[in-house]
Amino acid sequence: MTPAILRKELQAMIDTMPDQFIQAMMPLVTCFAEEYWRPKLEAVTEEESAMIDSTVLIYEKDPSSFTDWEDIK
């Protein structure tokens, strides 16, 4: 079977599946997705890592100082 046909069949199964099965399936699908995308992520430099850590600390101290992405769109 081609990937396109498999996708259609999988989508049809998901569309008819009871909610509790979808919830149970989510960790497995997430695991596959993470494995797929992980190699495509670039490594960050120490400076970038420090900037990320600093920003997380600022956010944790005052989340209201950040703009929600939904508000920006």
* Residue 1: per-residue pLDDT: 85
Q: Which residue has 């950040």 as its token pair?
A: 66
* Angstrom distance (rounded) from CA 22 to CA 19: 5
pTM: 0.42
- Domain locations in the chain as residue ranges: 3-63
Residue pLDDT, tens place only, 57-73:
999 999 888 888 888 87
* Collapsed DSSP state (helix, strand, coil) of residue 2: coil
* Angstrom distance (rounded) from CA 29 to CA 26: 5
- Identify the residue with better confidence: 71 or 11: 11
DSSP single-letter state for residue 26: H
Residue pLDDT, tens place only, 21-60:
988 988 888 888 877 766 666 788 899 989 999 999 999 9
